[in-house]
């Protein structure tokens, strides 16, 4: 079983070909960071136009690299939500056109499901498992009970973790994307130099709230005279901010683990996915927590943490072998929660 996957939900144009033997036959990704960097964030119209400019060439390239024709495929998958509507339309219409012309099944993949199932491309991780999904557009704790079956335990009530990193980096004048830049700068700083809040710590449940932390950083920057802040203070703020995020995630993850263990005694797998999972400091903090709670931590390699076509192709494989195909009338969903029974709050953030 061979599936072509297309990802275009935000600012990465990507495609990949994957088979059901967990082999990546070909993959390609075009990053739009340079196009959006002057604006300090993602501009939806620029993103959509870039997808139009690059997607056909990328799809043709991965098919050539895999040494396959479209007739060799068993299905075509594309991210159909959540995300920026322009990019979603480019990707899904391309996938539908290929599938329709070659008589192949079309698979509309939830971008969050792509992340949720990404570690299963590496090994046959049994369901259920606990997932912490952290990226620029979404932060949530989910029990992955099976393909297409997800139980939301808690999410952010305002900013996602990656969004908080990017906005804080902008406040510090570090540019975009902010996450890697804050992580690198924090290595030079003293986290104890500034006392920043830890929203939600000590409360029941798994909800996250980071807007107050971001506001505290802005107030600290203003107090230190804005653009003339010494580099040492910038590093200290970055370290204090990252440590605060770590404390929040450890506290919230502890609650999520206990809820998961109460529902599924004996199950041990804790998966972290999404772009923020590449942050080594946060990964170390969560690894220590998970080990102390008797769980096992699973983190995909960095190329599967950020947006990519490979995870979409794999999610397509997972859905296709269960017969979960979609019609060509499937409409993209800029908001599409993994758990349709959960409260809409935090259930399906726009990926931005």
Query: According to CATH, what is the number of the domain 2-119+303-320?
Result: 3.30.420.40
* Token representation of residue 286: 């969560």
C-alpha to C-alpha distance for 352 and 240, rounded to whole angstroms: 25
pTM: 0.93
Question: Domain segments of the chain: what residues?
Answer: 2-119+303-320, 127-299
**pLDDT (tens digit, 9 = 90+) per residue, 5-56?**
999 999 999 999 999 999 999 999 999 888 888 887 889 999 999 999 999 9
148: left (phi over 0), alpha (psi -120 to 50) or beta: left
Query: 337: Cβ–Cβ under 8 A, 6 or more apart, which residues?
Result: 152, 344, 347, 348
Q: Which of 199, 213, 292, 210 has its CA nearest to residue 254?
A: 292
pLDDT at 226 over 80: no
Question: Binning pLDDT at 50, 70 and 90, where does residue 153 land?
Answer: very high
**pLDDT (tens digit, 9 = 90+) per residue, 247-295?**
999 999 999 999 999 999 999 999 999 989 999 999 999 999 999 999 9
CATH topology of domain 127-299: Nucleotidyltransferase; domain 5 (3.30.420)
Question: Binning pLDDT at 50, 70 and 90, where does residue 72 land?
Answer: very high
| pLDDT value of residue 227 | 57
Instruction: Judge whether 2-119+303-320 and 127-299 match in fold.
Output: yes
Give percent helix, percent strand, percent coil of the chain, each to the nearest 5: 45, 20, 35
Contact 87, 9 (CB under 8 A): yes
Q: Which of 328, 347, 279 has its CA nearest to residue 110?
A: 347
């Amino acid at each position: 079983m061979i599936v072509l996957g297309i990802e275009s939900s935000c600012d990465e144009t990507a495609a990949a070909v994957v088979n059901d033997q967990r082999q990546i036959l070909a993959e390609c990704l075009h990053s739009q960071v340079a196009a959006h960097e002057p604006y300090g964030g993602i501009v939806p119209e620029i993103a959509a136009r870039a997808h139009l400019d690059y997607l056909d060439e990328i799809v043709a390239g991965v098919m050539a690299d895999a040494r396959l024709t479209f007739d060799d495929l068993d299905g075509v998958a594309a991210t159909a939500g959540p995300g920026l509507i322009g990019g979603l339309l480019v990707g899904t219409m391309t996938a539908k056109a290929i599938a329709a012309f070659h008589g192949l099944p079309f698979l509309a993949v939830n971008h969050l499901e792509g992340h949720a199932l990404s570690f299963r491309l590496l090994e046959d991780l049994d369901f259920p498992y606990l997932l912490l999904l952290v990226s620029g557009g979404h932060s949530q704790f989910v029990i992955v009970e099976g393909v297409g079956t997800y139980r939301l335990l808690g999410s952010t009530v305002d900013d996602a973790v990656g969004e908080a990193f990017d906005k804080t980096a902008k406040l510090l004048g570090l540019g975009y994307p902010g996450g890697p830049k804050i992580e690198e700068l924090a290595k030079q700083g003293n986290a104890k130099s500034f006392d920043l809040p830890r929203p939600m710590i000590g409360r029941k449940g798994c909800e996250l709230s980071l807007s107050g932390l971001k506001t505290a950083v802005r107030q600290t920057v203003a107090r230190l005279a804005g653009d003339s802040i010494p580099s040492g203070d910038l590093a200290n703020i970055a370290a204090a901010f990252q440590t605060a995020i770590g404390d929040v995630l450890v506290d919230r993850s502890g609650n999520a683990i206990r809820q998961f263990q109460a529902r599924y005694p004996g199950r041990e797998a804790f998966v972290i996915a999404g772009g923020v999972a590449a942050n080594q400091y946060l990964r170390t903090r969560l690894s220590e927590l998970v080990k102390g709670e008797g769980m096992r931590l699973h983190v995909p390699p960095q190329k599967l943490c950020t947006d990519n076509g490979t995870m979409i192709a794999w999610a397509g494989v997972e859905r296709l072998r269960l017969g979960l195909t979609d019609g060509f009338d499937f409409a993209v969903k800029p908001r599409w929660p993994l758990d349709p029974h959960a409260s809409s709050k935090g259930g399906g953030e726009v990926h931005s």
